Structure 1
Amino acid sequence: MSTTKPILIAGGGLASLLLAHSLRRSGIPFKIFERDASFTFRAQGYRLRLSPEGLDAIESVLAPETFQRFWDKCGKTSGSGLTQLNAITGEPIPLPPSPQTTLTSRNGKVVGISRGDARKIFAEGCEEHIEWSREVTGYELTPSGDGVHALFADGSKSPAGALLIGGEGIRSKTAPQLSHNRLKVYDTGARGIHGQAPTAAFAGLGEGVFILRDDTSHPAGAVSLITNVRPGEMDDPNVEFGWTIAGHPGVIAAPNDNYTIVGKPAADVARALARNWHPRFRALVDNMNESEAAFWKITCSTPTGVPEWENEARVTVIGDAAHAMTPAGGIGANTAVRDAALLGRLLREAGGEVEGVTAEYERVMRGYASEAVGLSYGAATKQFGVRIEVGATPTV
């Protein structure tokens, strides 16, 4: 860069770390501000299924030997798509062809990786540039306009950076300031529970990606469980596979409406939801590791796509801060890593200049991300029964 000012990155999630990895390889200075005290402060979330676009984006950033280690960490499952089964009877339920039912990304395999493993690889060489327990609450430009400060929850601010990249997720404070509140996130009302169980509990399914659907047990709507059974680890008693239960609005409720609760209270709700299921499916929930159970809310950006705002040359946003998505099809995380790869490439190609970089990034990102938001929301309306009314007030 023609300036010694670093790139400032708010948030230490997957997209932020992949961007940082890209900047490090390009020799561009950077600083990450993460609100948590460490990577182990919170659970890393459920497993990430990689789309062809997401996998290509990651490969474009990592060095060949690093990508090989990333690839070796990935699980590879045979099959071209989802298998949907009636959770009560065990009978197959046909799925219409869609982008969410064709899941293979490379070599005819469904490819996935735990978010914790991905985060660890992306963070390699970047750890010394992370400031922990630093929650970004906004930004201010320098009086000369040649830099930007990140503002923190404790009232302090960072030294001036060349750019600020908001990657703090759905509760980003950078996004509403930058977009003048055009970037919105809605609580769809649908809820989920993430859990894990020993591989032996999955023996009744076999290899593949499965949706177990229950349309009749709960008056408020349907419940479904999705899981990926990977063959290479099926016989390892030390491995746990993850699953996610999701329900229509009103089906899943946390005690006292507190969705930060983890452990037994979440596990108890999951078991109650599966009480009428076929024994070979109920085993996934009955044998779960209670300590890993966690509630989550299903959120989404404006379904029409990423809005336009007046470009600020010194500030932009990536990942969920720019385009929050429902979990349908795993589209959100794959779009986030595309953001990181795109912005990192543009900064490298800028050859020391920042003028025009954020404008070009936002132009390209709006195209693919708006399409992704539409696909994600469309799938969620069918899978979770959600609907965001035009003109509704954002609830996140």
Structure 2
Amino acid sequence: MPSKPILISGGGISSLLLAQSLRGSGIPFKIFERDSSFVFRAQGYRLRLSSEGLDAIESVLDSATWEKFWDKCSKTGGAGFEKLNAITAEPYEEENKNKPAEKLLSRDGRVVGIARGDMRTVFADGCEEYIEWNRKVTGYELTDDGVRAIFADGTKSEEGSLLVGGEGIYSHVARQVSDGKIKTFDTGAVGIHGQAPSPAFKELGEGVFSIKDKKTGIWAITNVRPGDKDDPNAMMGWTMGGPPGSIPVPNNDYTIIGKRAADIAQEATKDWHPRFKPLFERMDVPEAAFWKITCSSPSGVPQWQNQSRVTVIGDAVHSMTPAGGIGANTAVRDSALLGKLLKEAGGWAPGVTEAYEKEMRVYGSEAVNISYTLGTDGFGINIDEATSKLV
């Protein structure tokens, strides 16, 4: 009898990389994605990849897909952020030297990054036919020897051998399997993603830059890539954020995109130095998008009663602030680890999810703590696990 498929909830980067691992191992799978296509949620920012993240990705992808992925990555020189005052354009030193240092270099003495959309496209290669669109998973039910996903419309999936919740911070699978122990907090801090043509970045030069307005606390991070900085048709991105209350969110609507988001970004940076203002004045307005900064429990990934037929990966189990660029790298480590354990077992087997969760809980907890510690300084956030608002 053919084996039951691994069911994957969500079509983000951790889910798709896990699918690549299963595809390479010959293990059947199905992906359930709430959106109607990848285009629906195309906005995003460039992800900085650590050596651990790159190693995890390379361990999963076949050589041809890895080369395609590596070609999409930018490789920027420089040992770390050049931290600049948004008003004066002068360099500034970190106020608190006790904060963990951000590790930027990952391979060949370079900072490696990739657009989230490009990563998703590469990871989806060869997996498209196994994706079911407009399928929002709201829970699951266990059967005698398997599991079924339950969808928002009340229907159920075919029976699978394992359900993997990879649908991000609002994961219903995570809440159910952990009996509510997995918690994601709304830090109150917000941000905006945007991009502009490369000439807008010419005054910065090549490198990774952190720009901060100390009066308002608003900051921006950008990576000026050597391959694109001299191409007038290339687009490069920036990510803006600020502590709670610093960036207005009309009607508390975090889904704002386009002109309304662009107008707010331009208003927030109207007094910034002429070296930086072109990033915002010349932005591609339709691509501007708001985002909410969230974080899992700073105390780490919680313990819950293991369920051998259900587990969770990525932001569903350990959401992080953008500080340190750790979140995506930890998510792909989840995919590589779970995929490796499933390959070794020839598919689902008793003990696989327990072994995965035991190892993930260690590096995941460490990553969340570093991200939160950096975020308290950089973003002015503070989480009280007893009283802070949950997402």
Instruction: Answer whether TM exceeds 0.5 for this pair.
Output: yes
What is the number of equivalent residue pairs in this alignment? 389
Q: CA deviation at 1:390?
A: 3.2
Q: CA deviation at 1:98?
A: 6.0
From 230, 246, 251, the counterpart of 2:246: 251
Q: 1:179-198 residue pairs with structure 2 within 5 A?
A: 179-198=178-197
Q: CA deviation at 1:392?
A: 2.1
Tell me the distance in 2 between the aligned counterparts of 1:393 and 1:207.
40
- The TM-score normalised by the length of structure 1 is 0.96
* Cα gap change, 1:157 to 1:35, in 2 (>3 Å): same
Q: 1:256-271 residue pairs with structure 2 within 5 A?
A: 256-271=251-266
From 367, 379, 387, the counterpart of 2:382: 387
CA contact (8 A) 1:3 1:352 kept: no
CA contact (8 A) 2:258 2:288 kept: yes
Q: Which amino acid aligns with 1:228?
A: N
Q: CA deviation at 1:394?
A: 4.2
Tell me the distance in 2 between the aligned counterparts of 1:352 and 1:187.
36
What is aligned with 2:29? 30
What is aligned with 1:212? 211
CA contact (8 A) 1:100 1:328 kept: no
Is residue 298 from structure 1 mapped to residue 293 from structure 2 by the alignment? yes
What is aligned with 1:126? 127
Tell me the distance in 2 between the aligned counterparts of 1:97 and 1:67.
37
Tell me the distance in 2 between the aligned counterparts of 1:353 and 1:303.
31
CA contact (8 A) 2:186 2:388 kept: no
CA contact (8 A) 1:139 1:174 kept: yes
What is aligned with 1:358? 353
Q: Which amino acid aligns with 2:92?
A: I
- The TM-score normalised by the length of structure 2 is 0.97
Q: Percent identity of the aligned residues?
A: 63
* Cα gap change, 1:126 to 1:55, in 2 (>3 Å): same
Q: Which amino acid aligns with 2:386?
A: G
What is aligned with 2:81? 82
What is aligned with 2:171? 172
Q: CA deviation at 1:80?
A: 1.1
Q: 1:62-77 residue pairs with structure 2 within 5 A?
A: 62-77=61-76
What is aligned with 2:8? 9
Q: CA deviation at 1:162?
A: 0.1
From 275, 280, 285, the counterpart of 2:280: 285
From 303, 310, 316, the counterpart of 2:305: 310
Secondary structure of 1:280's aligned partner: coil
What is aligned with 2:139? 138
CA contact (8 A) 1:3 1:162 kept: no
Tell me the distance in 2 between the aligned counterparts of 1:309 and 1:37.
33
CA RMSD of aligned residues (A): 1.2
Tell me the distance in 1 between the aligned counterparts of 2:200 and 2:289.
19
Q: 1:44-55 residue pairs with structure 2 within 5 A?
A: 44-55=43-54
* Cα gap change, 1:100 to 1:32, in 2 (>3 Å): farther
Tell me the distance in 2 between the aligned counterparts of 1:71 and 1:26.
22
Of 61-70 and 170-179, more deviation after overlay is shown by: 61-70
What is aligned with 1:59? 58
Tell me the distance in 1 between the aligned counterparts of 2:348 and 2:252.
49
Q: Which amino acid aligns with 1:246?
A: G
Q: CA deviation at 1:65?
A: 2.2
Tell me the distance in 1 between the aligned counterparts of 2:249 and 2:385.
28
CA contact (8 A) 2:6 2:160 kept: yes
CA contact (8 A) 2:208 2:221 kept: yes
Structure 1 regions of 5+ residues with no counterpart?
none
CA contact (8 A) 2:99 2:373 kept: no
Q: Which amino acid aligns with 1:208?
A: G
Of 285-294 and 332-341, more deviation after overlay is shown by: 285-294
Secondary structure of 2:275's aligned partner: helix
CA contact (8 A) 1:184 1:394 kept: no
From 219, 226, 236, the counterpart of 2:231: 236
CA contact (8 A) 2:161 2:348 kept: no
Q: CA deviation at 1:256?
A: 1.9
Q: What per-residue deviation string (whole Å, max 9, x for no partner) do you get for residues 147-187 of structure 1?
A: 00000000000011000000000000000100000000100
* Cα gap change, 1:387 to 1:3, in 2 (>3 Å): farther
Q: Which amino acid aligns with 2:112?
A: V
Q: Which amino acid aligns with 2:4?
A: K
Is residue 107 from structure 1 mapped to residue 108 from structure 2 by the alignment? yes
What is aligned with 2:118? 117
